[in-house]
Amino acid sequence: MAETFPVQRTCPFAPPPAYKGWRDQAPLVKAETGRGEVWLVTRHAEAQQVLSGSGFSTDPRTPGHPNALDTANMTPEEIAAAREFGVGFFIDYDPPEHTRYRRLLIPEFTVRRVREMRPDIQRIADELIDDMVAKGDEAELVEAYGLALPSLVICRLLGVPYADHDFFQSRTRTIVDASADEGTRRAASFEIRSYLDDLIARVEAAPKDDLLGRLATSGRLTHEEMTGAAFLLLVAGHETTANMIPLSAYTLLRHPDQLAALRANPDAWPAAVEELLRYHSIADFVAFDRVAVEDQELGGRLIRKGEGVYVLGASANRDERAFERPDEFDIERGARHHVAFGYGVHQCLGQNLARAELEIALRTLFDRLPDLRVIVPEEELEPKYGNGVFGLTRMPVAW
């Protein structure tokens, strides 16, 4: 009998309880999604195989893909608009189409380029804390810091006016809210896409020395392709990091000995960030949807061509075969082989930037506010159990 998927988390510091049972059972298990059966990949080694394997497609246009466009209740106009919307959304492309975008964008996110951005990220972090302190000795950390910092960074990177960040945050929350109906999420996506369509038209007319300006002057993407790529970068560039910052801060506050070790040795922050990424795996199976393009054996199971697959990143990152004591938070683990950013050709393009933002945001927060504490019980933090990307809705703090 097939399992039911997806299932929700019940604790801010652990994947859904069902994951361990599935992982103990087999590296792949069958599940029913409401749109058909899929394979769930539960273990680390098999997760890497699927995410790097040429025998799987990430493209929802491929027959059998678990997130193929559901046209049953859509008008022909809506179907055409949805397909047009997918232009430039390169996370859903397979090579060589995906490779064309990635080669264009990789220079914008190299270790060297991100190193050059670090002073600006540091200024943003300091200015946000200055604003918090100027308003008193309490703040709501999700809104004042977690959401604000990555929004400012990605808006500056892309050349998007920060005055519009509230618009992007509200629409992005809707897009990743699994409890919202598909029509509502689709409408929010189209609103962002329409805004970017106008913005890129202005960029093309008068390009500046920013990411979008450089893409425009390269002449290697059409207007529609640039719009889709910008949409992906904007949404992916702040939603995950915005959720990780408060959740990571709370995790460190719950482990005061490890926080003290970081204060005593700031060089340990990069390793701590890797452990936080592994431990929380907030995106879980988002962007880890695939479909087999050939018959193949994986984890002792025969996967048929056209069968859908979800890699459970939060399960793979708690796999006892890959990590000792995987349910423990340990900043000395050195677990850079986690799959929080994916694996293979689709590994997160912005991972260097995300790491820098997390490190700077957390280090600055605890350096500047050494007496930081949460001022509500844990049950009042309102975890986003229904969202595709996990996080906290609110985190009131004082210092």
Of the segments 53-67, 114-128, 151-165, which one has the largest average pLDDT value?
114-128
Report residue 182 CA to chain centroid gap. 20
Residue-level length of the chain: 399
Residue type, 280: H
Q: Could you read off the pLDDT of 217-263 as tens digits, one per residue?
A: 999 999 999 999 998 988 887 789 999 999 999 999 999 999 999 99
Dihedral class, residue 177 (left if φ above 0, else alpha if ψ from -120 to 50, else beta): beta
Residue with the larger pLDDT of the pair 306 and 188: 306
* Segment among 33-47, 231-245, 263-277 with least mean pLDDT: 231-245
Alpha carbons 257 and 260: distance in angstroms, whole number: 5
Alpha carbons 332 and 174: distance in angstroms, whole number: 36
Q: Could you read off the pLDDT of 191-207 as tens digits, one per residue?
A: 888 888 999 999 999 99
Residue type, 79: I
Alpha-carbon Rg for the chain in angstroms: 21
pTM, 2 dp: 0.93
Contact between residue 333 and residue 94 where contact means Cβ atoms under 8 Å apart: no
The DSSP bridge partners found for residue 289 are 310
* Residue written as token pair 């809104």: 143
Alpha carbons 235 and 169: distance in angstroms, whole number: 9
Average confidence (pLDDT) over 100-111: 94
Element (H, E) at 119: helix 111-134
Contact between residue 268 and residue 262 where contact means Cβ atoms under 8 Å apart: yes
**Roughly how many angstroms between the first and final C-alpha of the chain, as a whole number?**
52
Nearest to 329 by CA among 277, 394, 288, 383: 277
Task: Write down the pLDDT at residue 209.
Answer: 87
Q: Per the CATH hierarchy, to which homologous superfamily does domain 3-398 belong?
A: Cytochrome P450 (1.10.630.10)
Q: Does residue 175 surpass a pLDDT of 90?
A: no
Q: Could you read off the pLDDT of 331-362 as tens digits, one per residue?
A: 999 878 999 999 999 999 999 999 999 999 99
Percentage of residues in the chain with pLDDT exceeding 70? 99
Q: Within 10 A of 344 (CB to CB), how many other CB atoms are there?
A: 14
Nearest to 358 by CA among 227, 234, 251: 251
Q: How far is CA 174 from CA 146, 239, 337, in A?
A: 17, 11, 31
Task: Write down the pLDDT at residue 172.
Answer: 74
Of the segments 178-192, 220-234, 314-328, which one has the largest average pLDDT value?
314-328
Alpha carbons 200 and 66: distance in angstroms, whole number: 32
How is the beta sheet containing 56-57 ordered, strand by strand? Answer: 3-4, 28-32, 37-41, 308-311, 289-292, 56-57
Q: Within 10 A of 161 (CB to CB), how many other CB atoms are there?
A: 9
Instruction: Indicate the pairing of strand 308-311 with strand 56-57.
Output: unpaired
For residue 75, name the pLDDT band (cuts at 50, 70, 90): confident
Q: Does residue 176 surpass a pLDDT of 80?
A: no
**Helix spans in 163-222 (H):** 165-175, 182-205, 211-218
Nearest to 239 by CA among 168, 161, 345: 168
Mean pLDDT of the chain: 92
Residue with the larger pLDDT of the pair 379 and 262: 262
Task: Write down the pLDDT at residue 375.
Answer: 97
Average confidence (pLDDT) over 284-308: 95
Percentage of residues in the chain with pLDDT exceeding 90? 74
Q: How far is CA 30 from CA 12, 22, 149, 161, 375, in A?
A: 26, 10, 40, 45, 43
Task: Write down the pLDDT at residue 178.
Answer: 63
